[in-house]
């Protein structure tokens, strides 16, 4: 089994990725367990930030690296919170959700459209000239209030188009099948042949 540094400290992402890759030859280890500090994410896009994190993790450990950069895009808010999704309020998930709900007050119907995006980057080394990149998008809209106990991040306010449930109201398996990260993982697995 190959050890792969997960270039993230996000426990929710770690759980989802470990679960999704459990039957592959890759053993994901969070960067914190290997003494790797967070990278400075100063890219302007999800893919740039994923590459920055993966190269940082691979460089400091000498191992394969997997990085995820993901977020929520709300066109009515000019794409916000976008690449700043995890630090939108600066105070964590609940405050991020509260800030987004406040920003969406007064928006109706199609104006509440949104999507999650996930970009995964897999590197065999820090200088890998051909990173494996996979992407997934999950379309829905922003709820008017917080609903559900599962998931993390914006899951309690992201309503799935055809279901009417929030991502936080899905089981872990349902979320894995439908989500932006689930889609990106499926694409990554296909590219890795895993």
Question: Mind telling me the catalytic residues?
Answer: 69
- Closest to 34 measured CA to CA, from 8, 70, 63, 61: 61
81 has which bridge partners?
73
Tell me the chain's radius of gyration from C-alpha atoms: 16
DSSP H helices, 36-92, are 46-61
Q: Answer yes or no: are the C-beta atoms of 159 and 140 closer than 8 Å.
A: yes
DSSP H helices, the chain, are 11-20, 46-61, 93-104, 172-178, 180-192
Structure token pair of residue 151: 């998931």
φ/ψ of residue 81, rounded to 5:
-75, -15
φ/ψ of residue 136, rounded to 5:
-140, 150
Query: CA-based angle 133:183:124, to the nearest 5?
Result: 30
């Amino acid at each position: 089994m190959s050890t792969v540094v997960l270039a993230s400290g996000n426990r929710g992402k770690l759980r989802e990725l470990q679960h999704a890759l459990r039957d592959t030859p890759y053993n994901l280890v969070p960067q914190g367990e290997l003494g790797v500090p967070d990278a400075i994410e100063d890219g302007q896009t999800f893919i740039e930030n994923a590459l920055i994190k993966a190269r940082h993790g691979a460089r400091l450990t000498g191992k394969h690296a997997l990085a995820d950069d993901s977020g929520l895009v709300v066109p009515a808010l000019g794409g916000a919170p976008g690449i700043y999704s995890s630090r939108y309020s600066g105070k964590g998930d609940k405050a991020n959700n509260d800030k987004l709900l406040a920003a969406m007050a007064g928006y109706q119907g199609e104006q509440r459209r949104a999507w999650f995006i996930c970009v995964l980057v897999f590197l065999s080394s820090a200088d890998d000239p051909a990173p494996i990149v996979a992407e997934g998008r999950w379309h829905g809209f922003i709820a008017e209030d917080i609903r559900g106990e599962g998931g993390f991040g914006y899951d309690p306010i992201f309503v799935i188009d055809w279901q009417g449930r929030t991502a936080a109201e899905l089981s872990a398996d349902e979320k894995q099948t439908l989500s932006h990260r689930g889609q990106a993982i499926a694409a990554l697995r296909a590219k890795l042949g895993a």
